[in-house]
Amino acid sequence: MNNYKTIIEPFKSEILKIKKSKFIGCVYPVETIEAIKAAMHQIKADHPSASHWCYAYSYGIENPQIKTNDDGEPSNSAGKPILGQIQAFDLSNVLVVVIRYYGGTKLGVGGLISAYKESAKLTLSSAEVVEKELTRGIILKFKYDLLNVVMRAIKQYQLEIKDQTMEMDCSIKLEIPKRIFDEVLEKFQGVFGLKVKVL
């Protein structure tokens, strides 16, 4: 697999009203557990009087980390239906949260499953989905006299420079599309005096 689908930016859906309860879906692009914690903190700060903040996430492409949370709703009535929609839309590196304001009428397990699923579906069908290319990172360390050789290869393969230091000793961090990683790595490893570290 060289590509994956995710979302570009956070998105909040319209309010779904079921028997006076209100459900609001939010989706966030995430790549780390820290980003997930930050998003959850923000949601709870924005909706302090909500009854529940139920969520599911999947991040990491080749070895995905997946979790669901019912946040006090009956077991598997909220987080699992939300995760089901993430998987139905074939998305990676996303956190979907459905915020519930309890309206005073119990919905039952079946009603909750339907409500959380529908809210997640509404959110994901309206968010902007993009296809991204899987990449791997490397760091190149070299003397300044090799700069032209390195920059020529970067231009040839149209690589993305993530970070760089240009002094007597130079360091460049690159993101390389997975589909050409082996070829590019071999090219750099063949340059005398160039140190290559695979991240």
Could you give the angle at the alpha carbon of 75 between the alpha carbons of 52 and 95, nearest 5°? 55
The pLDDT value given to residue 2: 81
**Percent of the chain, pLDDT > 70?**
99
Which domains can be identified in the chain, with CATH numbers? 3-132 (3.30.230.30), 134-198 (3.30.70.240)
Confidence band, pLDDT 50/70/90 cuts, at residue 35? very high
pLDDT tens track for 10-27: 999 989 999 999 999 999
pLDDT tens track for 137-170: 999 999 998 999 999 999 999 999 999 998 889 9
Report the chain's C-alpha Rg in angstroms: 22
62 pLDDT exceeds 90? no
| HEC secondary structure over the chain | CCEEEEECCCEEEEEEEECCEEEEEEEEECCCHHHHHHHHHHHHHHCCCCCEEEEEEEECCCCCEEEEECCCCCCCCCHHHHHHHHHHCCECCEEEEEEEECCCCCCHHHHHHHHHHHHHHHHHHHCCEEEEECEEEEEEEEEHHHHHHHHHHHHHHCCEEEEEECCCEEEEEEEEEHHHHHHHHHHHHCCCCCEEEEC
Please choose, from the candidates 145, 148, 144, the residue with its C-alpha nearest in 3D space to the C-alpha of residue 169.
Answer: 144
The pLDDT value given to residue 168: 80
1 pLDDT exceeds 80? no
pLDDT tens track for 76-127: 999 999 999 999 999 999 999 999 999 999 999 999 999 999 999 999 999 9
Q: Output the CA torsion 183→188→189→193 (10° steps).
A: 170
Whole-angstrom distance, CA of residue 19 vs CA of residue 107: 8
pTM of the model: 0.80
The pLDDT value given to residue 68: 97
The pLDDT value given to residue 101: 97
Mean pLDDT across the chain:
94
**Percent of the chain, pLDDT > 90?**
87
Q: Please classify residue 82 by burial: count the beta carbons closer than 10 Å to its beta carbon, then call 0-12 exposed, 13-18 middle and 19+ buried.
A: buried
The pLDDT value given to residue 186: 94
